[in-house]
Chains A and B, each alone.
Chain A
Amino acid sequence: MLILTCPCCGVTGEETEFHAGGEAHLKRFGPGSSEDQFEEYLFMRENPKGVHFERWRHVNGCGKWFHAARNTVTLEVYGTYAAQTHEPPADLRDKITEKVPGWTWREFQ
């Protein structure tokens, strides 16, 4: 059972305090978007063996959503960061590169 640190309230808690919310940094497509764009938005997901970016909510806590950068194999948590962003912060990406040189995830590396 994982432990995560909520960047919104600072609490480090066990997984039962949190709720996993799927892949991070999805771009919403609404009316006017093409079938392909909408399909991509609604259904297409990364399933990496290694570095992954996810959304989590501190549901039994401050109630806030946040992002987590995690390794799906080792379960190492590289860091958590605010939900109000479209991409992982640069310092976190650097930290991951130190540990997993050459990682890529969607358009990020």
Chain B
Amino acid sequence: MLNAPEPSATGRHLTAALVLVVALVLQVSVANRLPLPGGVTPDLVLLTVVALALVYGSLTGVVVGFCAGLASDIIPPADHTIGRYALVYCLIGYLCGMAATEMDRRSVVPFVAVAVGALAGTLLYAITGMLLGDPRASWTIVARMVPLQVFYDVVASPFVVWAVLRVTRRYERADKGARHDRFTLPAAKYRAMSSRGTGL
């Protein structure tokens, strides 16, 4: 690779950016058009932010969350106040990044983090809407949507987290070429745990 001298910084940024763009496009052109019962769809971007934050830690989580949120705010069908998703995803990225350090100790953490992240993200977004007097975020709509949304997010989370891990792992393998490196990062630990933790 071109960025051989500094693989962990540039490479991870590129990977994160790529994963985010793919998640965004999949979100608007596939996920949002699925005719799922209840008219609600899983928030792939939120799940991607959570997964990236768990892999790379809170600093990357914050930055990734902000960028993903800003992109969600301006990607074509978006029609809400710019900055709402940026704020929400930024906070979620931070919170889940904090959980990344806990992950070394407990294998349940990633699953709890995804569920909590989904709940907190959906709620926070609804609250910003209410604060701004958005007619779409009226209580009746929020009360019906949030539980379903969280449910779908939790259902979709293993797939998204798995995909993000696959991509980041491939990058690391290609970059370092050595297998023993995988266990030096907390991220690698998470991978090892998550692959074995599915049975719990």
A and B: interacting chains: no
Interface residues of B (CB under 8 A from A): none
